[in-house]
C-alpha cells in the first residue's frame, strides 16, 4: 500500500475539512481495502485529508492513502486501528523463533505472518523448555523431539504459505542418511513443513534425495555464493520451491558485508529457473530487513524484536534507500565480490567449505545438548 493511490468515483472538495467527505473516503476505503484500513470514528473526526485530494479531468478524486497512513501512530496500530497487511512487502516475512505465543503476538501486531523458521538454538530458548530446565529437568532425545514436534504443531496453523522450517539434528559427522531419516519423520509432523539441512556435502546429499521424494527443504547456514550455487544444482528438478538461507548477521559479526552474499546469490539466480528462493536469515536489525526488501529477496526470517521495531515505522524502502554497510560500532563492513559461477555444473564441484558453517553446526549442537540429560 505504500504510495498507493485510491481512485474514488465521486467529486470531493479539495482543501476543505468536511466530515461528510471524510466519511465518504472512509466508506470507500473500507470497501476497497476491507480489513486493511479499519478506521474508527475517532480517527475520522480527528483527521482531515485536505491536501491529499486532487480532482482529475474526469472528476475522479485521487487520494494518496499514504498521506492518511502517515497520520497514524504506533498506539493506533496496537489498538488495532491500523492493520499492516495494507503495507505488506513482496518479500515474505517469516518469524525466526521457537515460541508459538510470540508468533501469535507478532501476527496480531503486523496483521500477517507468512511463515516461521526454527532451529535447535531457538527451540532451546522456548519458554516451556526453559521452564523444564529451570525446574532441573533435562530432556531425553525422545522428549526433545516431542517438544520440538509440539512446538511446530502449535505454530503450523498460525502461519501462511511460506511454511514452518524444522531443522534436523546434525553434527559435523552426521551422514546424509541419518539427516534424511530425521527429515522424513519431521516432514510428517505438519502439513506445511520445510526441512532444514546444513549447506555441507552431507546436507546437500540429503537435500538431493529429499526433493526427489517431495520433501520441501530449506538449506541453512549458507555463507557463500558457492554454497548457494551447489544448493541450486543439487536440488534442480524440485517440484516445490527450495529455500536457501544466507546468514547475514554472522558474516557482519566478522567484518564481512553479509548483505552482499544475499545480493550476489539473487544476481546469480537470475540466470536460473527460479526453483530456489532466497530466504534472508540472521537478520539483526531493521536495515538488514529493509535491504532484504530492497533487493527483492523472496523471503526473510526475522526475530520478533526486529519486527516490533518495523511495526513502529512500518516502512518499505523506496528508490532512495541506501544500505549502510556498517557494523554495530559503525565500522565499514568488507564488501564480498560477486563470482561468475555456472549453475549447471555438478553440485559437488562447488567449494562448500566455510568456517562459519562449521561453527554454526557446532553452536546448534551445543544448544541442542544443553537441553539434554547426560544419559540421553
Ligand atoms: O535464521 C537464522 C538465525 O536463527 C540465526 O540468527 O542471530 O543467531 O545469527 P543469529
The least confident of 250-259, 308-317, 344-353 is 308-317
- The three grid cell numbers given for residue 359, joined into one nine-digit string: 561453527
DSSP one-letter code for 82: S
Cβ of residue 304 lying under 6 Å from some atom of ligand 1: no
Say yes or no: CB of residue 117 within 6 Å of ligand 1: yes
Taking Cα atoms as reference points, which of 101, 69, 71 lies closest to residue 86? Answer: 69
C-alpha cell at 304: 520478533
174, 128, 196, 139: which is closest to 370 by C-alpha?
A: 139
Torsion-angle region of residue 250: left (phi > 0), alpha (psi -120 to 50) or beta? alpha
Architecture of domain 89-369: Alpha-Beta Barrel (3.20)
Based on the number of CB atoms within 10 Å of its own CB, is 236 exposed (0-12), middle (13-18) or buried (19 or more)? middle
Q: Measured at the alpha carbon of residue 36, what is the angle toward residues 30 and 41, in degrees to the nearest 5? A: 55
Q: What is the pLDDT of residues 190-248, one digit of tens each?
A: 999 999 999 999 999 999 999 999 999 999 999 999 999 999 999 999 999 999 999 99
How many residues in total does the chain contain?
376
Ligand 1: residue of 102, 220, 247 to mutate (most ligand atoms within 8 A of CB) is 247
118 lines ligand 1 (CB under 6 A): no
Element (H, E) at 64: strand 61-64
Contact 258, 234 (CB under 8 A): no
| pLDDT tens, position by position, 153-201 | 999 999 999 999 999 999 999 999 999 999 999 999 999 999 999 999 9
CA–centroid distance, 113 to ligand 1, in Å, is 18
- Atom 7 (ligand 1): residue with closest C-alpha? 282
Mean pLDDT within 357-368: 96
Cβ–ligand 1 distance for 218 under 6 Å, the answer no
Is a pLDDT exceeding 90 seen at residue 315? no
Q: Are 211 and 217 in contact (CB under 8 A)?
A: yes
Mean pLDDT of 248-264: 98
Q: How far apart are CA 285 and CA 92, in angstroms?
A: 17
Flag whether pLDDT at 22 surpasses 90. Answer: no
For residue 32, pLDDT beyond 70 = no
Closest-CA residue, ligand 1 atom 5, reads 282
Question: Out of 137-146, 163-172, 299-308, 349-358, which region has the weakest mean confidence (pLDDT)?
Answer: 137-146
CB 240 within 8 A of CB 234: no
46 pLDDT exceeds 50? Answer: no
Q: Catalytic annotation on 363?
A: no
- Work out whether the CA dihedral 146, 148, 149, 150 comes out positive or negative: positive
Measured in degrees and rounded to the nearest 5, phi and psi for residue 130 equal -60, -40
Indicate whether 152 pLDDT > 50: yes
Q: Of all protein residues, whose CA lies closest to atom 6 belonging to ligand 1?
A: 282
pLDDT in tens, 2-14: 222 233 333 344 4
Beta pairing partners, 246: 222
CB 204 within 8 A of CB 353: no
Please give the backbone phi and psi of residue 218, each rounded to the nearest 5 degrees, phi first. -130, 110
Query: Would you list the domain boundaries of the chain?
Result: 5-79, 89-369
Distance 249 CA to ligand 1 centre (A): 7
Antiparallel, parallel or unpaired: β 61-64 and 53-55: antiparallel
pLDDT digits (tens, 9 = 90+) for 77-125: 334 334 555 578 999 999 999 999 999 999 999 999 999 999 999 999 9
Any ligand 1 atom below 6 A from CB of 281? yes
pTM (two decimals):
0.79
Catalytic residue among 108, 196, 334, 363: 196
- Residue 309 CA to residue 369 CA, distance in Å, equals 32
196 lines ligand 1 (CB under 6 A): no
pLDDT over 50 at 29, yes or no: no
* Strands of the 61-64 sheet, one edge to the other: 5-8, 61-64, 53-55
Atom of ligand 1 nearest to the CA of 281: 1
Amino acid at each position: 500500500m505504500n504510495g498507493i493511490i485510491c481512485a474514488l468515483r465521486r467529486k470531493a472538495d479539495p482543501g476543505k475539512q468536511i466530515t461528510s467527505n471524510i466519511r465518504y473516503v472512509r466508506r470507500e476505503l473500507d470497501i476497497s481495502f476491507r480489513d486493511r484500513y479499519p478506521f474508527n470514528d475517532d480517527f475520522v473526526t480527528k483527521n482531515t485529508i485536505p491536501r491529499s485530494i486532487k480532482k482529475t479531468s474526469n472528476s475522479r478524486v485521487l487520494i494518496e492513502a499514504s498521506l492518511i497512513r502517515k497520520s497514524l501512530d504506533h498506539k493506533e496500530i496496537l489498538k488495532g486501528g491500523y492493520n499492516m497487511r495494507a503495507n505488506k512487502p513482496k518479500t515474505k516475512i517469516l518469524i525466526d523463533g521457537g515460541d508459538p505465543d510470540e508468533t501469535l503476538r507478532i501476527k496480531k501486531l503486523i496483521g500477517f505472518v507468512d511463515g516461521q523458521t526454527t532451529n535447535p538454538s531457538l527451540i532451546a530458548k522456548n519458554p516451556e523448555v526453559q521452564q523444564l530446565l529451570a525446574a532441573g529437568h533435562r530432556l531425553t532425545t525422545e522428549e526433545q523431539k516431542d517438544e520440538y514436534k509440539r512446538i511446530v504443531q502449535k505454530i503450523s496453523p498460525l502461519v501462511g504459505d511460506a511454511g514452518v522450517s524444522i531443522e534436523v539434528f546434525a553434527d559435523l559427522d552426521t551422514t546424509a542418511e541419518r539427516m534424511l531419516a530425521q527429515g522424513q519423520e519431521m516432514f510428517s509432523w505438519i502439513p506445511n513443513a520445510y526441512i532444514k539441512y546444513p549447506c555441507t556435502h552431507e546436507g546437500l546429499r540429503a537435500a538431493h534425495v529429499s526433493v526427489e521424494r517431495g520433501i520441501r527443504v530449506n538449506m541453512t547456514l549458507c555463507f557463500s555464493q558457492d554454497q548457494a550455487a551447489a544448493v541450486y544444482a543439487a536440488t534442480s528438478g524440485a517440484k516445490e520451491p527450495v529455500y536457501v538461507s544466507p546468514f547475514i548477521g554472522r558474516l557482519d559479526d566478522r567484518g564481512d558485508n553479509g548483505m552482499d552474499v544475499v545480493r550476489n546469490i539473487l544476481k546469480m539466480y537470475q540466470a536460473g529457473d527460479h526453483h530456489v528462493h532466497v530466504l534472508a536469515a540472521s537478520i539483526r536489525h531493521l536495515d538488514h530487513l529493509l535491504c532484504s526488501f530492497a533487493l527483492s529477496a523472496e523471503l526473510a526470517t526475522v526475530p520478533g524484536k526486529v519486527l516490533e521495531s518495523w511495526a513502529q515505522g512500518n516502512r518499505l524502502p523506496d528508490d532512495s534507500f541506501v544500505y549502510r554497510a556498517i557494523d554495530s560500532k559503525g565500522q565499514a563492513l568488507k564488501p564480498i565480490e560477486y563470482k561468475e559461477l555456472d549453475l549447471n555444473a555438478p553440485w559437488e564441484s562447488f567449494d562448500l567449505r566455510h568456517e562459519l558453517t562449521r561453527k554454526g553446526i557446532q553452536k546448534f549442537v551445543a544448544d541442542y545438548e544443553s537441553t539434554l540429560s547426560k544419559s540421553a
